[in-house]
Amino acid sequence: MSVTEKAWWKEKIIYQIYPRSFNDSNGDGIGDLRGIISKLDYLKNLGVDIIWICPIYQSPNDDNGYDISDYRAIHPEFGSLEDLEELLKGLHDRGMKLIMDLVVNHTSDEHDFFKASRSSLDNSYRDYYIWKKPKPDGSPPTNWMSFFGGSAWEYDEASKEYYLHLFTKKQPDLNWENPKVRSEIYDIINFWLDKGIDGFRLDVIPLISKRPDYPDATQDTFPKVIEQIYSNGPKVHDYIKEMIDKSFSKYDVMTVGEGPGINKDVALQYIGNDRKELNLIFHLDHMYLGQGENGKYTPTPYNLLDVKRIFNEWDKAIGDEGWISIFMDNHDFPRMVSRFGNDGQYRVKSSKLMCMLILTLRGTPCIYQGSEIGMTNVAFKSMSEYRDVETINFYHEQKKLGMSEEEFLVMANEHGRDNARTPMQWSDEKNAGFSSSDKCWINVNPNYTNINVEACQQDENSVLAFYKTMIKLRKQVDTFVYGQYEELSKGHNTLYIYRRWDDSSEYIICLNFSAIEINIASYLPNTATCVLTNYTSTSTNQLRAWEAKLLRIN
């Protein structure tokens, strides 16, 4: 049997915090660092170890902090540097770790670098960003589309050139070809690592190297365009290696790359043990399922077979040579119980099923805030409730094409990023206990009266209780971390049954992604004992509606 190298970041469990929506300590309607500090015991008790916190730096918030105007300053709405240091100490005192978000493909257009860069053609910061002349007819240099709709090029009247922004026009892409840019970035990374943080999640890291010939996009879906044009440029590995060499290698920290466009065929170039690049990645193949020509607002159908195929192919492609994170949602995608489970009648059952899935697949689990209580998509009633720039931009585009608000809302309520960004539901009190303010930055999901942490804590069969049990189990049994993986239910469109095994033990995980009860005897050996199910009683060979069963093979 082949052997996987051991590492602390393979054995621990990541919990992702979206700070604006986690907990508001001072009643201004915006979550903040002191709000997180006051929930550290909750997190410890849940059993998670690595807290990844989305950007908290100075930012005009065009993309909620993913547009940074000062990398060394904390945004006052989140608190101060002292608060961050206290948070870090609070985590370390509890034996937990902190990783921050590093967004260095682009800055805010309000960053001093960009202000200088756009000020004139001969400013010394001009080539910190990517400027190109228009085509002879005045149109943008390429047909590239931004991730958030419209052209990825913005015309600058003063200098008569376009600058590149793969995201919003307030997020100009840095020019990594320029060694001065790279060295500024390494200084920023070291500034934070010197404070003692435990690593970074590297935002859109495969996008930092651009194709020098700037080819037009020709693929027919947006995820394919990402692979063809935006991701995995020719120098990306030189840059990552240099970054590791100049900063990360000097510290015992983890690096997790966010990987739009990193497919299974190129993954090992980033995470292969021999490459000395990133520790692990969040690949987005399963998240991008269903995206058509212009992305999520031109949807295409998919099903469980596609999800399983992606997990199977990735596991095979990586083997013992590298490592990934396992997650089914984050701040950019709908809530996993609404997307892959059943958030109606079977919300509790299917939330537990999703929990068993992410905690028993092969890779470091990442739990997004609120999943542990089964939070769902929100179904806003009006576009005025939406805050996300992506949703709003696409709305304006679709409106021009004749779509009504009602029609667009149906799509936004299914695909929009704000589904995951409504405030954490702590209790059935005002604003779900998230904030004492009369107005939160985004509305609370009205289902908080029923779905909240306090209610879960009073119920021994709650989603939260199930998470705690699964987290303990994952940590007790090495097989779930390092063991091999194989799907047993290939070709079945509602069953996901797989085994995890090593020299010491073997488990079979049986997940029913439907409300139809089914006999699974043909998948099981005679010697299976049930360790855990999301039902209160056990049943031998039947898998009931949305049942998740963990079996030990003796």
Least Cβ distance, residue 389 to ligand ISL (angstroms): 8
Q: Which of 62, 101, 173, 203 is catalytic?
A: 203
Regarding 203 and contact with ligand ISL (CB under 6 A), the answer is: yes
Least Cβ distance, residue 19 to Ca ion (angstroms): 10
Hey, which residues between 376 and 435 contact ligand ISL (CB under 6 A)?
A: 390, 417
How far apart, in whole angstroms, are the C-alpha atoms of residue 358 and residue 509?
11
Number of residues that bind ligand ISL (CB under 6 A): 15
How would you label 227-245 residue by residue, b for 16+ Cβ within 10 Å and e otherwise?
bbbbbbbeebbebbebbbe
Q: Please list the residues that pair with 497 across neighbouring strands.
A: 510
Hey, which residues between 346 and 365 contact ligand ISL (CB under 6 A)?
A: none
Give the containing element (helix H, strand E) for 336: helix 336-339
- Among 18-26, 45-53, 496-504, 517-525, the segment contacting Ca ion (CB under 5 A): 18-26
Least Cβ distance, residue 455 to Ca ion (angstroms): 24
- Name the token pair of 53: 């916190």
Least Cβ distance, residue 37 to Ca ion (angstroms): 12
Name which position in 12, 13, 17, 32 contacts Ca ion (CB under 5 A). Answer: 32
Hey, which residues between 260 and 289 contact ligand ISL (CB under 6 A)?
A: 260, 284
Q: Is the dihedral of CA 9, 289, 21, 353 positive or negative?
A: negative
Regarding 154 and contact with ligand ISL (CB under 6 A), the answer is: no
Show the binding pattern over residues 56-75: x = contacts ligand ISL (CB under 6 A), - = does not. -------x--x---------
> Binding partner of residue 457 among ligand ISL, Ca ion, none, CB under 5 to 8 Å per kind?
none
Positions of E strands within 319-398: 325-326, 364-368
- Among 28-36, 91-99, 158-166, 191-199, the segment contacting Ca ion (CB under 5 A): 28-36
Regarding 147 and contact with ligand ISL (CB under 6 A), the answer is: yes
Between strands 70-74 and 57-58, the pairing is: antiparallel
Regarding 26 and contact with Ca ion (CB under 5 A), the answer is: yes
Name which of 188, 197, 199 is nearest 104 in CA terms.
188
C-alpha distances out from residue 336 to 160, 295, 368, 374, Å: 45, 19, 9, 9
Q: Which of 49, 161, 227, 258 is catalytic?
A: 258
Name which position in 97, 210, 296, 387 contacts ligand ISL (CB under 6 A). Answer: 296
Least Cβ distance, residue 141 to ligand ISL (angstroms): 21
The dihedral over CA atoms of 450, 453, 459, 461, expressed in degrees to the nearest 10, equals 90
Between strands 199-202 and 97-102, the pairing is: parallel
Name which position in 17, 84, 103, 412 contacts ligand ISL (CB under 6 A). Answer: 103
Secondary structure (3-state) at 550? strand
The dihedral over CA atoms of 288, 391, 446, 423, expressed in degrees to the nearest 10, equals 80
Least Cβ distance, residue 525 to Ca ion (angstroms): 54
Check if the beta carbon of residue 336 is closer than 8 Å to that of residue 376: no
Whether 258 is catalytic = yes
Catalytic site residues? 203, 258
Summarize as ranges the residues that interact with ligand ISL (CB under 6 A): 63, 66, 103, 147, 167, 203-204, 258, 260, 284, 296, 331-332, 390, 417
Residues within the interface to Ca ion (CB under 5 A): 24, 26, 28, 30, 32
